[in-house]
Amino acid sequence: MRQTARRLGAVVLFVAWAVSSPSVAGAGAQGVAETAPTVLAVVDVGQPAGRVPPLAVGGFNFANFMQVVGFERELGSVGIRSIRFPAGNLGDQRDRTPADLDVLRMHWMLLGRPRIVMQARLLGGTPEQAAEAARYARRIGLPIDYWEIGNEPDLYPPAGSWTSERYCEAFRAFVEALEPEVGDARFAGPAVSGGEHKMEWVRRFIGACGDVVDVVTWHVYPTDGTWPEGEALATASRVSDEIRQVRAWLEDAGANPLGWHRAHEVGLGVTEYGLSWQTQSFRHLADFTAALWTADVAGRLVAGRVELASYFALQDTGGHGLLDAAGFTRPTYHVFRLLRDFDGQVVPVALRGAGEWLTAYAVAGDDGVVRVLVVNRDPSKAAALRFETGEGVPLVVRSARQLTELSFDHLDDVTAPDSLNPLSVPPRSVTRAELGR
């Protein structure tokens, strides 16, 4: 990281907030009161916590039924870095046939040649079939960086028949068959579902297979789309807890007796995530609440330095997807536009003086610019943010882009905030700002 970013010791945010109302005297266009009382919040920016892995952002589940031709511009603007193929349950519903891989190669080129996370079919498939698919992919010049064994094996029928130990045995068999065919590709699993029992499943898998797995993966679907808005949005914090828990298990000789000594080599991956698992419902998948939650979770995945993160999904799959079947964009599409170059060194952020309704994540780019993502989940509170170093030297917001319900509904786009210094953050908004001296 360049010296400009390294010199930042602590950033202080002065947060002025009030109930947003167009009738407030002196309020700006978004209702941020100019004379609101000020609350001091401190954002600690200490030593960088390590680089953001390149695939922690810009990853999406993809299937060949998704329409790329005709939507190259829209899909290109979200900065696709990786695709997980095929999306979701399709991984265990059909083989990776030569025809499928041929079509995938065409899509892969149209999408800008992103990195590929390939599902190996576990339910109904064999290690030998996976190895044959790997050989064919190599023959046609389709590079595969990760092989994820199966999809949500904790849900395989009949219910309860697959344990983490049984899955580990299968995982080892697939790795043994694939290793001679895949070069430096990394092996990921168990890709468990977003159910409440998932973390126990992950723990037991680590205990049985910690010596062979390269990336421990799981899915995040905390609701069924019927929860109250506030409760649904609050589930984003679970992702941070899960990241810490999985790392702790990997490093614990008791929890990971076979592989604790190689814990530093093992990455983490959330290979499907969305606020709701209810595919046929559009609530909390295609609405603005989904955008707020997705931005908050994406910030946590960056801060947690996960190796793989794959949003579900790139394009229309019921309520899931950045675009619908006709190509119309959803609010989550604009979230990933804001995140497309959100990388560099992770900058630890601790907001003090503001409520849990406001979260912030920061990175220091290789260009020396500190980029901040601010998510305001509250339906009524607005914020005005000022930035300073720990020595009291002001940091200037050089530029910012913002997604609000108003900007999406009226413009289908992001807009500039009402004010940069202080930075205005309206209720229910996602703001990305770049800081300088």
CATH number for the domain that contains residue 352 = 2.60.40
For residues 185 and 217, membership in a common domain is answered with: yes
Last residue of a domain, one of 329, 354, 370: 329
For residues 101 and 44, membership in a common domain is answered with: no
For residues 289 and 420, membership in a common domain is answered with: no
For residues 34 and 63, membership in a common domain is answered with: no
Total domains, the chain: 2
Mean pLDDT, residues 297-323 taken together:
96
Residue 259: pLDDT over 60: yes
**Cα separations in angstroms, 33 against 18, 19, 94, 150, 352:** 7, 8, 56, 52, 21
Q: pLDDT tens digits for 86-113?
A: 999 999 999 999 999 999 999 999 999 9
For residues 204 and 294, membership in a common domain is answered with: yes
Mean pLDDT, residues 195-208 taken together:
94
For residues 151 and 176, membership in a common domain is answered with: yes
When the pLDDT of each residue in the chain is averaged and rounded to a whole number, the result is 89
Q: Is the peptide bond before 427 cis (omega within 30 degrees of 0)?
A: no
**Distance in angstroms (rounded) separating the CA atoms of residues 19 and 383:** 9
341 in a domain, yes or no?
no
What is the model's pLDDT at position 343? 93
For residues 109 and 23, membership in a common domain is answered with: no
Contact of 272 with 226, CB cutoff 8 Å: no
Last residue of a domain, one of 329, 355, 382: 329
**Radius of gyration of the chain from its Cα atoms, rounded to whole angstroms:** 22
**Distance in angstroms (rounded) separating the CA atoms of residues 375 and 40:** 18
Which bin fits 28, alpha (ψ -120 to 50), beta or left (φ > 0)? beta
Q: pLDDT tens digits for 271-295?
A: 999 999 999 999 999 999 999 999 9
Q: Which domain holds residue 117?
A: 59-329
What is the model's pLDDT at position 215? 98
244: Cβ contacts below 8 Å, ≥ 6 apart = 304
Last residue of a domain, one of 294, 329, 364: 329
Residue 391: pLDDT over 50: yes
Top mean-pLDDT range of 66-75, 233-242, 386-395, 417-426: 233-242
339 in a domain, yes or no?
no
**Cα separations in angstroms, 340 against 77, 160, 241, 302, 434:** 8, 40, 25, 12, 14
335 in a domain, yes or no?
no
Residue predicted with more confidence, 35 or 69: 69
For residues 29 and 124, membership in a common domain is answered with: no
Q: What is the pTM of this model?
A: 0.92
247 in a domain, yes or no?
yes
340 in a domain, yes or no?
no
For residues 88 and 23, membership in a common domain is answered with: no
Mean pLDDT, residues 179-184 taken together:
97
Confidence of residue 390 (pLDDT cuts 50, 70, 90): low
For residues 125 and 173, membership in a common domain is answered with: yes
Q: pLDDT tens digits for 317-357?
A: 999 999 998 889 999 999 999 999 999 999 877 676 678 89
334 in a domain, yes or no?
no
CATH code where residue 81 lies: 3.20.20.80
Mean pLDDT, residues 365-379 taken together:
93
For residues 65 and 134, membership in a common domain is answered with: yes
394 in a domain, yes or no?
yes
Contact of 204 with 195, CB cutoff 8 Å: no
For residues 319 and 382, membership in a common domain is answered with: no
